[in-house]
């Protein structure tokens, strides 16, 4: 035999030093096709000359497509990801260019060994001309905008308004609408706007608009965004005139973000409705539940039984979904089956984590062998196993509440992210034209001893497994939508090696007012606790930023490891 020829492109399970852009994890290389540009080809959707002589390759397991470019001597030049953001590939298994210069791709579908409903043959064409704009319509909340303008000091923060798609109220109802978020995908294009408010001749042609609805009814407000070539996109808002949404509030004499040991949480539910007048309080519902690992987002009512385990995020970035479903068999066993078999076995978390890293087969039949995942740290593999086991856990149980009372809210050291959610709802009687509307209030109560690992954001504090490492100069911990009523100060459990510095607390913005400063000193190998006070009482809800600043000459090294933030 002739001597072995080195591979053209090689990539192992872990990230390749030579080709790190190809990723890590399982692999299944798919040979593709060369593109030959033909200037005489009349096809309007053929690939451009830029790709002439380029080889297109794919990987089934990693679900990507790359194009490989060569120099004039046909030596390897570089790889480029193909449609990395817009491809929406479903695991390519073959691809070829047609005579029309268009790429045809056969996709297996999401999961190996399954009858995939998303298996398909796709045709990828090149649009060498104009693209249609994107339309996004919003209802503007004037009070919220005024509040943001007073408390947000950076443009990137003031632009983060929530998207509101529906509004209700009595006539005359003044509505402000915005096309914020609408844009054209072509940099050299311009767009025009047209608003239709659901009534004859009720139109506007400005980027943002105002309109007063004078008659009861349900109106669809249509935004049409058009570019100069005539391509357009639309978005719709819903306006209900003739009934006002009930105002539901969970009130209480104390703080409504935190609970302290041996201090019951006192509350009362209050409801007002403009049309119903005196409220039948038997129609008001209140309940609460405990969530050991809630999703981030403050006081909102998402799918409130959804638990956000770190292993779920790690799994989503790996190749697990190629061979497994949560609740049914693919080529590999379902996650539920894995949990049912191993969950109650002593030492099974470590055992399965080792199996994920090393790969192997035989426990679920001889036809399936799991790929190795050497790129995963053991703690990440164990997090995946814990998430799989959680799929058979009982969901947080809702417990009904009286409309006035107090709650003892225990927290648990083994569940540092645990939170209680209290919900109150009331559905009104409805109007003649507009039907019943539902009002809801939601508050979340967390332990006043906060583990920074479970903050909403922690830029500058590297995450290491389930812990944060030391933050560098100007790193910060962010807790969103925190009630500061009754809060007098903070204490911090930390370690700082040989660094001295300051912890600054700012409100509502990274450039917001400083309301507390606390010096910290070097700890060596020990930990210390320091306490700081609010410079003056602060009430209401705020985004709270805890900045760490190094005294002396700052550098990029870690200066402080914040282990706990206590609210007092």
Q: How many residues does the chain have?
A: 568
Angle between helices 378-390 and 348-358 (to 10 degrees): 120
**Per residue in 233-281, pLDDT tens?**
999 999 999 999 999 999 999 999 999 998 999 999 999 999 999 999 9
On whether the CB atoms of residues 52 and 81 are closer than 8 A, the answer is no
Examine the pLDDT at 441 and tell me if it is beyond 70: yes
Local structure of residue 3 (DSSP, 8 states): P
- 96-105, 131-140, 315-324: lowest mean pLDDT where? 315-324
Residues 25 and 86: their CA atoms lie apart, in Å, by 22
Residues 372 and 364: their CA atoms lie apart, in Å, by 16
Average pLDDT, the chain: 89
- Unique residue bearing structure tokens 């590297």: 462
What's the whole-number mean pLDDT along residues 210-227? Answer: 95
What's the whole-number mean pLDDT along residues 446-467? Answer: 90
Q: pTM of the full predicted structure?
A: 0.73
Q: Which DSSP string corresponds to 113-127?
A: TS--TT-EEEEE---
**Per residue in 38-82, pLDDT tens?**
999 999 999 999 999 999 999 998 999 999 999 989 899 999 999
Q: What percent of the chain is modeled with pLDDT above 90?
A: 64
CA distances to 12, 179, 472, 479 from 476, rounded to whole Å, are 37, 33, 9, 10
What's the whole-number mean pLDDT along residues 217-228? Answer: 95
On whether the CB atoms of residues 92 and 58 are closer than 8 A, the answer is yes
Q: Residue 454 in 3-state DSSP?
A: helix
pLDDT at 212: 96
Across 424-461, b (16+ Cβ under 10 Å) vs e yields bbbbbeebeebeebebebbbbbbbbbbbbbbbeebebb
**Per residue in 488-543, pLDDT tens?**
999 999 999 999 999 999 999 999 999 999 999 999 999 999 999 999 999 999 99
Examine the pLDDT at 564 and tell me if it is beyond 50: yes
pLDDT at 34: 97
Examine the pLDDT at 301 and tell me if it is beyond 50: no
Angle between helices 335-342 and 378-390 (to 10 degrees): 100
């Amino acid at each position: 035999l002739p001597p072995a020829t080195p591979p053209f492109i090689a990539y192992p399970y872990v990230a390749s030093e030579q080709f790190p852009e190809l990723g890590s994890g399982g692999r299944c290389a798919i040979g593709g096709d060369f593109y030959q540009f033909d200037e005489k080809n009349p096809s309007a959707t053929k690939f451009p000359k830029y790709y002439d002589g380029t080889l297109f390759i794919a990987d089934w397991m990693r679900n990507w497509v790359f194009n490989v470019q060569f120099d004039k001597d046909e030596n390897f030049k570089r790889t480029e990801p193909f449609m990395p953001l817009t491809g929406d590939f479903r695991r390519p298994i073959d691809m070829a260019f047609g005579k029309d210069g268009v790429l045809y791709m056969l996709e297996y579908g999401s999961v190996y060994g399954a009858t995939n409903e998303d298996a398909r043959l796709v045709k990828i064409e090149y649009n060498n001309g104009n693209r249609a704009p994107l339309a996004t319509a919003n209802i503007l909340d004037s009070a919220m905008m005024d509040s943001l303008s007073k408390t947000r000091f950076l443009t990137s923060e003031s632009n983060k308004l929530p998207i509101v798609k529906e509004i209700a109220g009595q006539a005359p109802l003044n509505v402000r609408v915005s096309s914020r978020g609408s844009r054209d995908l072509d940099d050299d294009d311009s767009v025009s706007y047209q608003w239709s408010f659901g009534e004859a001749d009720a139109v506007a042609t400005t980027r943002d608009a105002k309109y007063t609805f004078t008659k009861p009814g349900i109106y669809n407000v249509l935004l049409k965004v058009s570019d100069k070539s005539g391509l357009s996109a639309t978005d719709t808002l819903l306006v209900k005139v003739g009934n006002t949404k009930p105002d539901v509030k969970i009130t209480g004499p104390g703080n409504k973000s935190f609970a302290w040991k041996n201090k019951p949480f006192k509350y009362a539910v209050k409801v007002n409705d403009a049309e119903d007048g005196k409220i039948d309080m038997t129609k008001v519902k209140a309940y609460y539940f405990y969530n050991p690992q809630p999703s981030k987002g403050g006081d909102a009512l998402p799918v409130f039984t959804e638990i956000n385990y770190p292993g779920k995020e790690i799994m989503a970035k790996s190749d697990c979904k190629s061979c497994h479903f949560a609740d049914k068999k693919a080529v590999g066993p379902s996650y539920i089956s894995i949990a049912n078999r191993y969950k109650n076995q002593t030492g099974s978390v470590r055992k399965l984590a080792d199996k994920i890293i090393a790969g192997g087969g035989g426990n679920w039949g001889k036809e399936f062998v799991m790929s190795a995942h050497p790129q995963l740290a053991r703690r990440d593999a164990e997090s995946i196993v814990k998430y799989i086991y959680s799929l058979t856990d009982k969901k947080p149980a809702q417990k009904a509440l009286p409309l006035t009372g107090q709650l003892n809210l225990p927290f648990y050291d083994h569940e540092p992210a645990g939170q209680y959610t209290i919900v109150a709802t009331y559905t009104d009687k409805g109007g003649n034209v507009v039907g019943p509307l539902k009002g809801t209030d939601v508050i979340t109560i967390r332990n006043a001893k906060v583990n920074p690992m479970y903050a909403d954001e922690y830029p500058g504090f590297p995450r290491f497994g389930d812990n944060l490492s030391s933050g560098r100069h100007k790193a910060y911990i962010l807790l969103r939508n925190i009630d500061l009523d009754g809060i007098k100060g903070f204490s911090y459990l930390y370690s700082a090696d040989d660094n001295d510095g300051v912890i600054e607390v700012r409100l509502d913005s990274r450039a917001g007012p400083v309301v507390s400063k606390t010096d910290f000193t070097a700890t060596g190998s020990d930990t210390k606790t320091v306490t700081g006070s609010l410079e003056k009482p602060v009430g209401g809800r705020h985004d709270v930023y805890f900045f760490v600043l190094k005294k002396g000459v700052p550098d990029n090294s870690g200066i402080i490891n914040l282990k706990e933030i206590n609210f007092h």
